[in-house]
Amino acid sequence: MQATFSHFAGRRVHLGVCGSVAAYKAVELARLFQKADMFVSCTLTDAACQFISPLTFEGIGASPVYTKMFDDTQNSCFSHLDPGFMADVFVLAPASATTLARLATGMAETMLAAQCLAFHGPLVLAPAMNPRMWAHPATQANVALLHQRGATLVGPAGGNVACGEEGVGKLEDIHTIFLHTLKALAPQNLAGKTVLVTLGPTREQWDGVRFWSNPSTGHMGGVLALAAWLRGASVVAVAGPGTPALPKGIHTVPVTSAKEMLEAAEAHWHKADIGIFTAAVADFSPVPFGPSKFKKATAGQDLTVQFTPNKDILATLSLAKNSSQKVLGFAAETENLEERTRGKLHAKKAHLMAGNTVGEPGSGFGSATNTMFVVDANGKEEHWENTSKADIAWRLLDWLLTL
Catalytic residue IDs = 163
E strand segments, 213-358: 234-239, 251-254, 274-277, 284-286, 307-309, 326-333, 352-357
Q: Which ranges of 36-173 would DSSP assign to H, the alpha helix? A: 46-49, 54-59, 82-86, 97-105, 111-117, 131-135, 137-148
**CB contact at 8 A, 16 and 112:** yes
- According to DSSP, the β-strands at 234-239 and 194-199 are parallel
Q: Which ranges of 303-388 would DSSP assign to H, the alpha helix? A: 313-319, 337-347
Distance (Å, rounded) from C-alpha 277 to C-alpha 275? Answer: 6
Q: For the chain, how are helix, strand and coil distributed in percent, rounded to 5?
A: 35, 25, 40
Rg (Cα) of the chain, in Å, rounded? 25
**CB contact at 8 A, 131 and 167:** yes
- 318 three-class SS: helix
Residue type, 45: T
| DSSP per position, 186-206 | S--TTTT-EEEEEESB--EE-
**CB contact at 8 A, 66 and 111:** yes
Return the axis-axis angle of helices 174-185 and 219-230, rounded to nearest 10°.
Answer: 60
Distance (Å, rounded) from C-alpha 212 to C-alpha 283? Answer: 10
